[in-house]
Amino acid sequence: MFSSPDPKFVTLNLLKEKKFFLPNLENMEINESDLGSFDIDDIKIETLLFQTGYLTIKEVETIFNQRIFYLSYPNLEVRTALNERIFKYLLTDMSIKKNAIFKSIQKQDMKEFEKALYQLFASIPYNSYVNNEIQNYEGYYANVIYSYLSGLGIQFIAEDVTNLGRIDLTIATPDMSQVYVIEFKVVDNKNQNGKALEQIKDKKYHEKYLDIAKEIIIIGIEFSKKDKNICKFEWEKI
């Protein structure tokens, strides 16, 4: 039976130092030598997660006599467990109500959705930002939200591909009655416009779901480097 990895290997501290993008764990590509590596001083996070059972081999491809392994979570339960662990380790305030985001999506209450996300980032301890510039990267905020949603067991698509680009995050209800198309931007200050919502419209990201979803809500979320939290939250119903 696999043992759980030490928290120091699976916290966002390690992931952000290596600029690792958590959504990539949905479909990782790794070569055979890295897959079997036991060099603890230079081990890849995906190798560690495979060796401890959090990732499993989904497909093997041979290219010029080299085997390429494609890894992913074994199931939803494992994805939820790993990301809930990352989520708990990251936060100091565990009073965040898990049901808040479920209810906000179900009721299409965007004020509550914004509030839940704002509280999430407000609960991240200050020392997470010391001696680094992670607050300057969109990937960091996407990682936090990814681990948050995954830890809740919510189904979603990160970096959802369209014919004109990639949607940062797509959340859909199980019956596809509601689809949320979300774009992130990081700005220098709260008065600057990062045009997150405008990008969704310009790139027509929502059109991918026009014939599938009953309702589509597009959301632009902008983060302030200075405040390390949401500074602008815009949304429209399509």
Same domain, 89 and 64: no
Across 66-85, average pLDDT:
85
CA distance 60 to 58: 7
Give the end of a domain, one of 46, 74, 102: 74
Across 47-57, average pLDDT:
85
Lowest mean pLDDT among 19-28, 100-109, 163-172, 213-222: 19-28
Same domain, 114 and 220: yes
- Considering the domain boundaries, does residue 131 fall inside one? yes
Give the end of a domain, one of 74, 99, 116: 74
Q: Provide the 8-state DSSP code for 22.
A: G
- Considering the domain boundaries, does residue 2 fall inside one? no
pLDDT in tens, 123-166: 776 555 444 454 555 667 777 787 777 777 677 887 888 888 88
Same domain, 115 and 195: yes
- Considering the domain boundaries, does residue 219 fall inside one? yes
Report how many domains make up the chain: 2
Contacts of 209 (CB under 8 A, 6+ apart): 170, 172, 179, 181, 216
- Considering the domain boundaries, does residue 1 fall inside one? no
CATH number of the domain within which 116 lies? 3.40.1350
CA distances from 133 to 58, 170, 231 (A): 35, 27, 18
Let me know if 123 is exposed, middle or buried by CB neighbors in 10 A (0-12, 13-18, 19+). Answer: middle
Boundaries of domain holding 19: 7-74
Same domain, 99 and 207: yes
- Considering the domain boundaries, does residue 112 fall inside one? yes
| Nearest alpha-carbon partner for 99 in 124, 77, 116 | 116
Give the end of a domain, one of 74, 96, 120: 74
The label of the residue with tokens 């990814």 reads: 146
Same domain, 112 and 228: yes
Same domain, 168 and 218: yes
User: Where is pLDDT greater, at 226 or 151?
Assistant: 226
pLDDT in tens, 92-105: 555 555 667 778 88
pLDDT at position 199, please? 93
Same domain, 18 and 117: no
- CA 106 distance to own-chain centroid: 20
pLDDT at position 147, please? 76
Same domain, 66 and 98: no
Same domain, 15 and 130: no
pLDDT in tens, 104-129: 887 889 999 899 888 888 877 655 54
Same domain, 214 and 133: yes
pLDDT at position 183, please? 92
- Considering the domain boundaries, does residue 207 fall inside one? yes
